[in-house]
Structure 1
Amino acid sequence: MKADPKPLEQWQVDDADRLKALFDKREPKISQSEFGSQFELGTQGMVSQYLLARRPLNIKAATAFARGLGVAVVDFSPTIAAQINEASQAAGEIPGARAVTDDDDHAEPNVEIRMVSIDVQAGVDRIILEPIDYDGGKHHVPRQWLEENDLYPAALVAVKVKGESMQPLMYEGDIAVVNTADKVRKTGGVFAMNYEGQAVIKRLLYERRDWYLASDNPEFKSVPCRGADCLVIGRVVHFTPKNFRDRL
């Protein structure tokens, strides 16, 4: 007797939801059958299973979807994008992932990552990354810094800091780099969070057996970070001041 398939993990379901949204928005439109044939994903039924979270995505399927939809793998699966980057260190560039080469004679000193806005919903552990037209939609980070910190460009996004709550560390208009593959809470770390349906940047603190969202600006009070009302989007790993000279 054949065993029932193992249920997908929540991140895999979220990946499928993001993938289906991208598939539905594709222009020109294409049938699932034609898409599967053209991009070597198999039958219409196979494509449907991936889109409806009935079959887990893998690296091969994810790169095929990325190629067919004209997007990066990280647009629908930060987790698989990070896996691809690990593999691409030896195999070269794969759609949706970029290897950080050790060849200092040929490598550019900076690496491009995407500038995005982050859309979230209250109580929903998923994010929508919307590209924005700022400096060509790209932000540049030092290649050496990426290598030293074992970071994968496909899992990184750049966002504009809003508000005054993280002053004097970060000011409105600064560019924060978020590692969407790192969702492990660490007290004292600065994270992009989905707090009650709003994307915010805060410092996470663990005190009195509970988590709190804290601001570096003392005029803002800490708030409890509990359950589905407070979800990690990713850890802030780098930021670029809008105008450093004004802070000297």
Structure 2
Amino acid sequence: MPAQPLSPEQLAEAANLKDLFKEWQRSRKESGLPSSQEAAADLLGFGQSALAQYLNGRIPLNVDAGAKFAVLLGVGLSDFSPSLSDQALRVAGAVAITDDDDHAPPSVAIQMVTIEVQAGIDRFVAEPIDDGGSKHHVPRQWLEENDLYPNALVAVKVKGDSMQPLMYEGDIAVVNTADKVRKNGGVFAMNYEGQAVIKRLLYERRDWFLASDNPEFKPVPCRGSDCIVIGRVVHFTPKNFRDRL
């Protein structure tokens, strides 16, 4: 039996996705990184045929595929499919949506992880921290106000003192892995020469640099496959109050 044609809404969402995918390809080419559909399919974890059918509106997107596209493209799920974004929040139960805010949970649990990367590889592995404090809670209202997709967020412990006085070692940073678009002055988790670091991105003299808030650390060039965005830091919780009060 032939598949039913997509609805006008689904076709519009596929078109939005295709536009974002083309932008991703252009950005990858400019950075000297693989940008073909084959490379994207490898990162997404499904075949090129399925990728092409999603982009061309031959088969409908689902929550799982949509979430993978959002992470790959560095966008929110709602940027190309508001309906799937709403469905994902409801089905995953990450943010309980009720008619009565008094019955909705005040916070949402985010997985605490360590981030493992390899030099030159535009992928990372988020290893859950296996201890009693493996979850970090953030305000539900903050998530909703900022249109953040909880399943794209991970929480990591800050290491070192390069980002003082903004963040100290032991603080917890929440990283939005769906936001990989470089922004001048933004704080990002980065794969820098095979090391996962948290730095501020600066655009100066037609070039990108990784900068530290601690003036003892000098900015370093951020170029090509040696410097890859993991995600933007969207929230942090101070845990180490030493020297702050």
CA distance 1:136–1:82, shift in 2 (3 Å)? farther
Counterpart selection for 1:62 from 64, 85, 88: 64
In structure 2, distance between residues paired with 1:88 and 1:61 = 8
1:97-125 deviations in Å (ceiling 9; x for gaps) = 73452641211110111111111110111
Structure 2 counterpart SS, 1:94: helix
Residue aligning to 1:178: 175
Q: Indicate how the Cα distance of structure 1 residues 244 and 9 shifts in structure 2: closer, same or farther if over 3 A, else same.
A: farther
- For the pair 1:158 / 2:160, whether they are aligned, the reply is no
State the AA in 2 paired with 1:145: W
Q: Residues 89 and 117 of structure 1: is their aligned pair in 2 closer, same or farther, counting only changes over 3 Å?
A: same
Aligned to 1:83: 77
Partner of 1:40: none
**Aligned-partner residue type, residue 161 of structure 2:** E
Per-residue CA deviations over 1:46-100 (Å, capped at 9, x if unaligned) read xxxx3x555338754837xxxxxxxxx67x97359953894252576334x7345
Equivalences for residues 47-126 of structure 1 within 5 A: 50=46, 55-56=50-51, 59-60=61-62, 62=64, 78-79=71-72, 82-83=76-77, 86=82, 87-89=84-86, 93-95=90-92, 98-99=94-95, 101=97, 103-126=100-123
| Segment drifting more, 176-185 vs 99-108 | 99-108
Q: Secondary structure at the match of 1:199?
A: strand
Residue in structure 2 matched with residue 138 of structure 1 by the alignment: 135
Contact 2:188 2:199 (8 Å CA) reproduced: yes
Q: Which protein, 1 or 2, shows the higher relative CO under an 8 Å CA cutoff with sep ≥ 6? A: 2
**Aligned positions, number:** 197
The answer on whether the counterparts of 1:161 and 1:172 sit within 8 Å (CA) in structure 2 is yes
Give the partner amino acid of 1:108: P
- In structure 1, the gaps of 5 or more residues are 1-6, 17-49, 64-72
Q: Is the 8 A contact 2:191 2:227 kept in 1?
A: yes
Partner of 1:226: 223
Name the SS of the counterpart of 2:105 in structure 1.
Answer: coil
Counterparts of 1:164 and 1:122, CA distance in 2: 23
**Structure 2: gaps of 5 or more residues:** 1-35, 55-59
CA distance in 1, matches of 2:95, 2:77: 11
Most deviating of 83-92 and 169-178: 83-92
Aligned-partner residue type, residue 111 of structure 2: R
2: CA distance between counterparts of 1:231 and 1:219?
23
> Is residue 2:42 matched to residue 1:13?
yes
